[in-house]
Amino acid sequence: MRSLRLKLLAAGGIVAAASAVALIAMPASAETAAFTVTNSWSSGYQANVVVKNDTSATISTWRVELSLPAGTTVVNSWNTTQANSGGTYTFTPAGWNATLAAGASAEFGLVVNGTGRPTTCLVNGRACDGSGTPSSPTVGPTPTRTTTPSAPATTAPAGRTPVAINGQLHVCGVNLCNQYNRPIQLRGMSTHGLQWFANCYNNASLDALADDWQADLFRIAMYVQEGGYETNPAGFTGQVNNLVDMAEARGMYAMIDFHTLTPGDPNHNLERAKTFFAAVSARNAAKKNVIYEIANEPNGVSWTGIKSYAEQVIPVIRANDPDAVIIVGTRGWSSLGVSDGSGSSEVIANPVRATNIMYAFHFYAASHKDNYRAELERAAAALPLFVTEFGTVSATGGGAVDTASSTAWLDLLDRLKIGYANWTYSDAGEGSAAFRAGTCAGGTYAGTGVLSESGAMLRSRIRTPDNFPTS
């Protein structure tokens, strides 16, 4: 975001991402605010506001006033305290985000019912562009857009996509169920680390996943360590949100994966998890396509430790999003404890104290065979499970595709209606990658010519009809 300009959408066509902006030049040495529409639909939109202190001194509070036209109302906001009088909405700090040092900023979000954009914007009594005149912003011409993750190029036909058919998901018994309370299975792909393969996730690649692969699910694997989130929390949070929007525009479910691996105890990242999930759940609360995976592969930690972590993170999400499905990682690299010589009985006997949750199971077909399949089937009778990650190759992510074991696994998951995301939708130089090396630099993702052996197998399986029940 260019925070030195006020961004407003032009009145007119409603699309899945911002398509026109008002640009107002801004003098230095003033408090300013930037208003951005981050998502929109036929009856409303979601927006983000960044308040910035462009003065040379610390300010102890801030106030943003937005005037909305008749018929347009704010129905929800976060990271702020909201009040309104007529069509003017006033936003003040939530408490913890009141003080802004010189050059610092605070951010809040809102969901709006109606399509009207703000007619005026004030910050601390002055125009949001930093001038002293509280005038209406002037809408400028629509800028030329390039193909970027924040600008979905296509919107899938309404009523025919996985999200349009199934709507808000929930857990019923041991199954993932749709808006008709019928069990469904979601099938899709996982990204590799966003810090390494960001060039693989763009409009063309997600068009291919939604249209050519006919996938239901896009798992967004955001590493916490290994050069990931901890190095740039705001940057990675924004990247995840952009990919959520791109999946939504194509009617796919988006699984936000807090990809903990090393260290294996998720409690090491407890505060980071609370910060991250508070941000993404607030920002995406109005969406129906978001699933939260709160710890990728716990390892070297007891089930008691994992459960404690989950019971502290889940309430953070629920404070913003009471409806979304949340997936909890399990012991032994999310093997239900099998890789640690244990099993699912400890989870069954001592489940997480929360509702609308599922438990993660991971496997790599060349390494994990009959005993893992047997444990999954035993656990599936008592626990709602989701295979949030699996590979057709060995547990290292490399080696040859084990076609027989992979087929046995996929047949089992289909029979039990357990959803899955394959590792990985990338061109990494390893056997698990769906694309041949160099594909993401070329820009062509559809068809079989760019696929590895693993990618061709998964595309063939995922393309089979879903037949989602609607009655």
CATH, residue 264:
3.20.20.80
Examine the domain organization and report whether 376 and 307 are in the same domain: yes
pLDDT at 78: 66
Examine the domain organization and report whether 115 and 173 are in the same domain: no
* Catalytic (active-site) positions: 297, 389
The model's pLDDT over 317-341, given as tens digits with 9 standing for 90+, comes to 999 999 999 999 999 999 999 999 9
Residue of higher predicted confidence among 29 and 56: 56
Task: Say if residue 1's pLDDT is above 70.
Answer: no
- Closest of 299, 254, 285 to residue 421, by C-alpha: 254
Judge contact between 121 and 127, C-beta under 8 A.
yes
Does a structural domain hold residue 3? no
The model's pLDDT over 277-323, given as tens digits with 9 standing for 90+, comes to 999 999 999 999 999 999 999 999 999 999 999 999 999 999 999 99
Whole-number average pLDDT of the chain: 87
Examine the domain organization and report whether 54 and 174 are in the same domain: no
Task: Say if residue 453's pLDDT is above 50.
Answer: yes
Domain-terminating residue out of 75, 106, 127: 127
Give the range of the structural domain holding residue 207, as residue numbers without chain letter: 162-462
Task: Say if residue 27's pLDDT is above 60.
Answer: no
- Closest of 419, 428, 415 to residue 454, by C-alpha: 428
The model's pLDDT over 396-443, given as tens digits with 9 standing for 90+, comes to 999 999 999 999 999 999 999 999 999 999 999 999 999 999 999 998
Does a structural domain hold residue 12? no
Residue of higher predicted confidence among 49 and 78: 49
The DSSP H or E segment spanning 119 is: none
Does a structural domain hold residue 373? yes
pLDDT at 334: 98
Does a structural domain hold residue 146? no
Examine the domain organization and report whether 72 and 166 are in the same domain: no
- Closest of 310, 306, 299, 394 to residue 338, by C-alpha: 299
Total domains in the chain come to 2
pLDDT at 337: 97
Structure tokens at 94: 């939530």
Does a structural domain hold residue 178? yes
| Strand pairing category for 80-85 and 88-93 | antiparallel
Examine the domain organization and report whether 307 and 370 are in the same domain: yes
The model's confidence at residue 39, banded by pLDDT at 50, 70 and 90, is: low
Task: Say if residue 154's pLDDT is above 70.
Answer: no
pLDDT at 288: 97
Centre a 10 Å sphere on the Cβ of residue 118 and count the other Cβ atoms it contains: 27
Examine the domain organization and report whether 275 and 410 are in the same domain: yes
Domain-terminating residue out of 77, 111, 127: 127
Examine the domain organization and report whether 315 and 377 are in the same domain: yes
Does a structural domain hold residue 1? no
Q: Which CATH number fits the domain that encloses residue 104?
A: 2.60.40.290
Examine the domain organization and report whether 84 and 175 are in the same domain: no
Q: What 3 state SS string does 157-170 have?
A: CCCCCHHHHHCCCE
Examine the domain organization and report whether 89 and 188 are in the same domain: no
Does a structural domain hold residue 193? yes
| Strand pairing category for 187-190 and 80-85 | unpaired
Burial class, 238, CB count within 10 angstroms (exposed 0-12 / middle 13-18 / buried 19+): middle
The model's pLDDT over 60-96, given as tens digits with 9 standing for 90+, comes to 999 999 999 998 988 767 678 888 888 899 999 877 6
Task: Say if residue 145's pLDDT is above 50.
Answer: no
d(Cα 284, Cα 290) in Å, to the nearest integer? Answer: 7
- Closest of 280, 305, 283, 304 to residue 293, by C-alpha: 280
Domain-terminating residue out of 79, 109, 127: 127
Judge contact between 195 and 228, C-beta under 8 A.
yes
Structure tokens at 461: 């399986």
The DSSP H or E segment spanning 305 is: helix 303-318
Percent of the chain's residues with pLDDT above 70: 86
Examine the domain organization and report whether 117 and 38 are in the same domain: yes
Buried-state track 294-317, b at ≥16 Cβ within 10 A, e below 16: bbbbbbebebebbbbbbebbbebb
